[in-house]
Amino acid sequence: MSGQITEVVDEIRARIRAGGLDLQRDDQRLLHLVEDVMDGEGAQNVERVIEQVAGFGALQEFLDDDSIEEIWINEPGRIFVARSGKSELTTIVMTAHEVRSVVERMLALTGRRLDTSNPFVDATLPDGSRLHVAIPDITSTHWAVNIRKFAARTHTLESLVSLGTLTAQAAAFLQACVVAGLNIVVAGATQAGKTTLMNALLNSAPSYERIITCEEVFELQLNSPDWIALQARQASLDGAGEISLRRLIKEALRMRPSRLVIGEVRQEECLDLLIAMNSGMPSMCSLHANNARAALSKMCLLPMLAGSNVSAEFVVPTVATVVDIVVHTALEPDGRRKVQSIASVTGRCEGNMIEMGEVFLLRDGQLQANGVFPSRLEAFTSRGIDVSALLGGASWA
């Protein structure tokens, strides 16, 4: 924002304080005040100033509070926040008009739309927070709003160690897996910290790698000097222009990636990911699953959504041979996120059962080496990584 607009914002805020203007209810007075101060400036500049002054209404204090992880609105009088994994009902009460006004102001910054023909929206706010909204008649009466805030403080494995998410030994092993180019799946339930863990893993990748990420909505935040982020797109009002994750994966492979990342695998795009992994492309993804075994089962199921010609006879052995590491993380009852296990896939399967061994396992609240070596030892040794030094004496997975 230019210095001139900054001065205008400061003057308007001074007038607001002097006049006791309520930014949540006096929209028209605020508009007239901005227009008066700006004296004939264009409508675009007037809107920019209003956004700077008004922010996001009653939700702004929660957006500014670094201790809050997520904000959600069930109805205008029931607004919740989550701190350290635990939810609490706030004392904030908004009107239905205020909720709608704030959401529309947020969406205006994202280029995404919300209407009766498209009653759901996923969008990324300028600070990286993720916005999800559902409106009637999908919801019964009120707009349902979720804002999952972007946690900037947990960008590295070291920061996750300090938070107790995993141990230093497990972090060193996972970093070695990334450097060795292993294919990694991060699994867990909602709010288990999957995206945060993926961010940390990707930020431990070698700086010379070219990383391409594909997501439904932008969430990953990498420090890599050579990183391209791709986002899916909804169809327009006339039903055209949709860009799916499957399309993004195919386009990403034409962009000379060193590593391909899918933010979250939910549907048939899993088939395209497996094909990329099978071509020797180091890859990473997250998915919802209760444990490492369930994650592998889901990886075997999702590709078959791509069509009846995709069979378990093809998918199961492919998953067994291309997926190397499954990391399972969970939200503990006390609100902390903790890695529950780090499993290595051996490449062998019997029927529909894929063989795996847990390299690290949570015992007595501590993630401990489980006496198992990972497979694909040659990937480690080719990069000068001594797995024995990382894990101590162990047996093969």
Report d(CA 19, CA 11) in Å as an integer.
12
The secondary structure of residue 18, as a DSSP letter, is H
**Tokens coding 206:** 């070698």
- Note down pLDDT in tens along the chain; length 397 residues: 445 666 777 788 778 777 777 665 677 788 888 888 887 777 777 777 776 676 787 888 898 888 899 999 999 999 999 998 889 999 999 999 889 988 988 888 787 888 888 899 988 888 888 899 999 989 999 999 999 987 655 679 999 999 999 999 999 999 999 999 999 999 999 889 999 999 999 999 999 999 999 999 888 989 999 999 999 988 776 778 889 999 999 999 999 999 999 999 999 999 999 999 999 899 999 999 999 999 999 999 999 999 999 999 999 999 999 999 999 999 998 889 999 999 999 999 988 899 999 999 999 889 999 989 999 999 999 999 999 999 985 554 4
* Mean confidence (pLDDT) of the chain: 89
Contacts of 177 (CB under 8 A, 6+ apart): 184, 324, 325, 374
> Helix, strand, coil shares of the chain as percentages rounded to 5?
35, 25, 40
**Tokens coding 397:** 């997975």
Q: Are 287 and 297 in contact (CB under 8 A)?
A: no
For residue 12, what are the CA distances in angstroms to 2, 35, 63, 174? 16, 10, 22, 51
Can you give the pTM of this predicted structure?
A: 0.79
Residue with tokens 């069930």: 74
Strand partners, 188: 288
Question: What SS3 state is found at 372?
Answer: strand
The stretches of 164-308 forming alpha helices (DSSP H) are: 168-179, 194-202, 245-252, 269-278, 292-301
Report d(CA 147, CA 121) in Å as an integer.
12
> Other CB atoms closer than 10 Å to residue 229's CB: what's the count?
17
